[in-house]
Each structure stands twice: as C-alpha cells, then as structure tokens.
C-alpha cells in the first residue's frame, strides 16, 4: 500500500465549563430568557458571573429542581475545572537565605557585611532561576537546627556585653609569611620582613594577590572600629618590559586596598566568601616608604588583608 496523501485534523478543544453552561444553564440564561438578568450564551463569563454560577452549583440551587440536573460527577468536574482556571493561591513559605539575612539586619540594625548567620543553611532550591518560590523552599530537620544556631549567633551579635572592651594594640614587623609560592624565595633573600603584592586579587593563581597576617589567625577579639597603620613602598611601576605581559597600565599609580579575612573561612591568601572592602583603595606614590592609616570596622574573628586592586592581571608564557 502506498500512502499518497495524509491529513491532520485538529479538533477544536472543548471547554468543559462552556459545555456545562450550554447543557444546563442556557435554557434559563440564554437569548430568549435571562433569569436574574444574567445571560451566559455570549462567550466567556465575567469573573463576577462565574463566581455566582459556582456558588449556585456548589449549593445545589442551580440548575433549579424542575430543570435538567447534572450528575454528581459532572458537577464536580465543572467545579474542579473552574477552580483550576483561577489564580493560584499564594503559598505560605519560609524566607530564603538572602531574605532571612536581610531581615535580621533590618530588624536588629546589625552590620551584616562580615556576619552571615545563614552560612550553614542548605542552599535554597531554585525554580526557573528563582529562589523565592514557596513550593520549592523545603524546611528540613537540619534547617531547623541551623535556625536555632543562627538565633544564638544573632542574639550574641545584637546583645553584646554591657562593658566596653579594653583598647588594645598589635604590632607586626617581621615573619610575614604569605604562601608557599613566595615564601621560599623570600626566605632565601631575607625578605620575610616584607609582604609582597604584585597580582590583582581576582586572578586564578592567588600568588601575591593578598597580604594577610598569618601570625594573627584568631583575628580581632571584639566587633568594633579599628585603626590600621601600614608602611608601603611602590616599586618598579616604570620598567623596561612590555605592559601587555602584565595587563597593567604603567601610567596609573599603584593602589593599595584593604579587605576583611577570616582564617576559619579558608586560606587567608585566597578569595573568601565574605570579604567586604573595608576602605576605599588609596594611590601609593612611587618609592617610599609611605605610611597610610585606615579606620575600619572589623567583626570578631576577622583581620585586615591588603590587596593590589590594579596589580598584574595576566599570566602569559614566559612572564613569570
């Protein structure tokens, strides 16, 4: 058998609500008769008319007793279909991590730059790239445990001790370890009294990108405002090499940045999940040394780390 032609017939979809109205309602609410001054034979009903129909069908007062009656299956199918056409109800949901964190900060007037009580919460599930859809925001036993831990941390942050902490000074002058890629050569050349910065903080290698205080892993003991003084030299901004090797503008002055770091969050010489900029970067004149003073806010456990915001940005063969 050879198929010489084929046809696709698309039947018009039947609207169950319209079919129900046509079968059981039009005789009283059609072209000739409009009981209650309502007419249902001119297309889609208004929301008010459909709500009235649903109320009457649910109560059993429509169709009237003397008229043709739908079976219980037909009645429930109609009501279910109409219910599905209406707007979905809003699901009562929990806050996602971002909303929880922002709410805590607003409610208790807390500085959240270095404080994240949701850090151990499970990741919020997403639907269509949205993380605030109620149906996907699951609440588990583990999350409830983290809520309790977060509440304790929040209260400790919001209700500090009544007595002001004592003023204290730390001085660091030597033994500035940075990372294994640098420390070997620095030790051989007797340069451990210096911290070297030569790389932009967002390059993938993190060699010379951050200058932390490894001798201060515990960080500051209290939340508060701290004064940080640092001596800096800007060397070799002008050099005989092709600027394209480094991805730097040789005409721009070197800049010194300062960000927060926490030894409990990972390697201090690497980028960390929470590392707010503590102050605006400053231009460093060539040569030196030059003294700079920063007045910064640090939370308990954090320390200042220095960066080179316009440092070397490219790694190319032969440029190391």
User: Quick one: pLDDT at residue 11?
Assistant: 44
Structure tokens belonging to residue 93:
């949901």
Alpha carbon of residue 133 to chain centroid: 14
Per-residue pLDDT band for 6 (boundaries 50, 70, 90) equals: very low
Q: How far apart are CA 13 and CA 320, in angstroms?
A: 70
| 29 within 8 A of 49, measured Cβ to Cβ | no
Average confidence (pLDDT) over 157-172 = 86
pLDDT at 12 exceeding the cut of 50: no
d(CA 212, CA 260): 9
* Residue 255, SS3 per DSSP: strand
pLDDT in the model for residue 253: 93
Check residue 151 and give its pLDDT. Answer: 96
Dist. CA 33–CA 42, nearest whole Å:
13
Under the banding of pLDDT at 50, 70 and 90, the label for residue 3 is very low
User: Which 8-state DSSP code applies to residue 170?
Assistant: -
How buried is residue 281: exposed, middle or buried, by Cβ count under 10 Å (0-12/13-18/19+)? middle
* DSSP 3-state of 280: strand
3-state secondary structure of 285: coil
Tokens linked to 294: 């920063």
User: What digits encode the pLDDT tens for the residues 257-302?
Assistant: 999 999 999 999 899 999 999 999 999 999 889 999 999 999 999 9
Instruction: Report the pLDDT value the prediction gives residue 261, as an integer from 0 to 100.
Output: 96
Q: What is the pLDDT of residues 13-70, one digit of tens each?
A: 557 778 888 888 888 888 888 787 888 877 777 778 888 888 888 888 888 888 888 8
DSSP letters for 197-238: --B-TTSSS-SSSEE--TT-TT--SSSEEEEEEEEEEE--SS
Q: Across residues 121-150, what is the average pLDDT? A: 90
The closest of 127, 147, 148, 125 to 138, measured between CA atoms, is 125
Residues pairing with 296 in the sheet: 226
Residue 89 — very low, low, confident or very high, per pLDDT cuts 50/70/90? low
- The two beta strands, 277-284 and 287-298, are unpaired
Give the model's confidence band at 4: pLDDT under 50 very low, under 70 low, under 90 confident, else very high. very low
What value does the mean pLDDT take over residues 114-131? 91
| pLDDT one-digit tens code per residue, 183-199 | 777 788 788 888 888 88
Radius of gyration of the chain from Cα atoms?
35
Average pLDDT over residues 132-138: 85
153 by Cβ neighbours in 10 Å (0-12 / 13-18 / 19+) ranks as: middle
């Amino acid at each position: 058998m050879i198929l010489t032609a084929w046809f696709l017939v698309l039947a018009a979809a039947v609207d169950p609500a319209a079919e129900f109205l046509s079968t059981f309602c039009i005789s009283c609410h059609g072209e000739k008769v409009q009981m209650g001054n309502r007419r249902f034979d001119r297309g889609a009903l208004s929301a008010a008319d459909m709500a009235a129909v649903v109320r009457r069908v649910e109560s059993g007062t429509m169709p009237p007793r003397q008229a043709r009656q739908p079976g219980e299956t037909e009645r429930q199918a109609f009501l279910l279909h109409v219910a599905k056409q209406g707007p979905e109800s809003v699901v009562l949901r929990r806050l996602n991590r971002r909303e929880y964190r922002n709410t805590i900060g607003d409610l208790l007037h807390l500085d959240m730059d270095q404080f994240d009580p949701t850090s151990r919460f499970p990741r919020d599930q997403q639907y269509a790239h949205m993380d605030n859809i109620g149906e996907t925001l699951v609440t588990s036993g583990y999350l409830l445990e983290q809520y309790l831990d977060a509440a304790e941390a929040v209260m400790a942050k919001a209700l500090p001790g009544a007595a002001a902490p004592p003023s204290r000074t730390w001085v660091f002058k030597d033994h500035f370890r940075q990372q294994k890629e640098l420390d070997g050569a620095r030790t051989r050349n007797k340069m451990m009294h210096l911290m070297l910065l030569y790389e932009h903080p967002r390059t993938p290698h993190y060699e010379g990108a951050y200058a932390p205080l490894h001798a201060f892993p515990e960080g500051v003991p209290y939340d508060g405002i701290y004064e940080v003084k640092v001596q800096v030299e800007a060397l070799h901004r002008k050099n005989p090499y092709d600027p394209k090797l480094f991805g730097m503008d040789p005409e721009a002055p070197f800049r010194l940045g300062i960000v927060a770091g926490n030894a409990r969050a990972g390697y201090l010489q690497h980028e960390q999940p929470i590392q707010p900029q503590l102050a605006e970067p400053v231009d460093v004149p060539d040569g030196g040394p030059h003294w700079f003073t920063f007045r910064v806010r640090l939370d308990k456990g954090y320390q200042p780390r220095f960066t080179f915001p316009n440092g070397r940005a490219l790694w190319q063969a032969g440029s190391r």
